[in-house]
Chains A and B, each alone.
Chain A
């Protein structure tokens, strides 16, 4: 821990740096909370009362004030601010961030003592107790209690959401079997009527039976799709290291076995290895490639192309594009397609509207991003960014 009084500019620079750091941490926090919100059937409450943009505005305004030399460089001011925001129902995570980062920084100006960094919560607590020993009891105590309260509330919310998710998943595991069993009974009877009794049933009757089969199959796929979607709960389950090349190829092989449509699929060589849930990632590419093949237009070039860019860095990620030259997705639907059961009327492609919701869910759980590349033409280009290593736990105190 350094103990010098820094220059005013240093502090402003420090805070400016912190701004970017905060934004990215906040982005991660939003993601982790969303992860627990699942499909959106859980109580939202005020889990996310502030967006990334709002946070940015707040930080920018704060920094501007500092530049202008305005008077809220006191601990009192920030602590009051934080308390006011709690009362207004602001996100606890957000407040914890302000608390841990900005209050520390402001202390530098006021007091001239500021640890270079905190490596751990333990070190942070040590710093607090040092304040206490300097008879700064009141502030230290206030700060500590506040942080404790925030953390506790956040943990409670997390637990509540996790409990909800587990219950929902358990219910669906049981329910999906109970839903499927009668469907199979119906299908069996319909099939037997068709194969053994067609002369008695007549053409109209046979048509009815065929429609029964189609509808039962659709129901079956819906239940299967939901069971699959709900099974993606968290990153922690069944994680291993595997080759994206292998995963992509076996996804494609599965599609080849199931579909008759002749489409040329160009897979690149040299896709990297990654750490994640292999089964989920394979099904993710199964859905994306299958969609691309369905979209591929025979009237145009009947080609699906996969490309990638592998980057090295502190948080290594692989960027993969799945491109088709079909009719494309209108820009106004680019966000909508990721929602479960959202079937777009004027996009004529078969499907139940659960495939892309699954893709998004898996990508999010793995700490990545997925989007429809805007202005791509002709056709559709889906971009998937997947971290190659396991997303790490954050320590909110810097």
Chain B
């Protein structure tokens, strides 16, 4: 199973997260989950949008390859997660990329708002850390497949 995802065409995951510890934990969880794709991290909402639209620092060719999956934190500096999500889902070129929201609080309203804006799934950063690894593993594989079928 290892490496299967990359072969499926999901060669890149974009992680939008500002908390350094959370970045470390998420990347570790992806690795432990056997998801060995290359991971690009951007640390605020504005950078995420610029990356996806090849704007600003990401305007040169090949600097920002299109991700097969986006992991998007809700609370972000500059433009928040919902803002980024809305931008992605209203852009005809970007809206087919699956987006998984990451939330710290598990606030039901946040989850509902994400779903309404077109998020494909969400992960609550849970109190049981093993659970997080488990979820990342499951969701990563599932969405990788969907993303592949959508191509």
Contacts and interface: CB of A to CB of B under 8 A. Distances in A.
Interface of A: 173, 176-177, 180-182, 184-185, 187-192, 195, 216-217, 220-221, 224, 227, 279
Contacts of A227: 105, 107
Nearest to B24: A188
A221 B128 CA distance: 12
A189 B21 contact: yes
A185 B19 contact: yes
A195 B104 CA distance: 22
Given A177-B75, A217-B127, A220-B127, A188 B21 contact: yes
B104 A180 contact: yes
B105 A188 contact: no
Given A184-B125, A187-B127, A191-B130, A224 B105 contact: yes
Given A191-B130, A217-B127, A185 B25 contact: yes
25 contacts: A173-B107, A176-B107, A177-B75, A177-B105, A181-B19, A181-B104, A184-B22, A184-B25, A185-B21, A185-B22, A188-B21, A188-B22, A188-B28, A188-B129, A189-B25, A190-B129, A192-B25, A216-B127, A220-B127, A221-B127, A224-B105, A224-B106, A227-B105, A227-B107, A279-B108
B19 A187 contact: no
Contacts of A180: 104-105, 125
Contacts of B105: 176-177, 180, 224, 227
Nearest to B110: A177
Given A180-B125, A184-B25, A188-B25, 8 more contacts: A176-B107, A181-B104, A187-B127, A188-B22, A188-B24, A188-B129, A191-B129, A221-B127
Nearest to B74: A177
Classify the interface of chain A: helix, strand, loop or mixed: helix
Contacts of B132: 188
Contacts, number: 50
Interface of B: 19, 21-22, 24-25, 28, 75, 104-108, 125, 127, 129-130, 132
A287 B5 CA distance: 42
B104 A177 contact: yes
Contacts of B127: 187, 216-217, 220-221
Contacts of B22: 181, 184-185, 188
A321 B59 CA distance: 64
Contacts of B28: 188, 192
Contacts of B108: 279
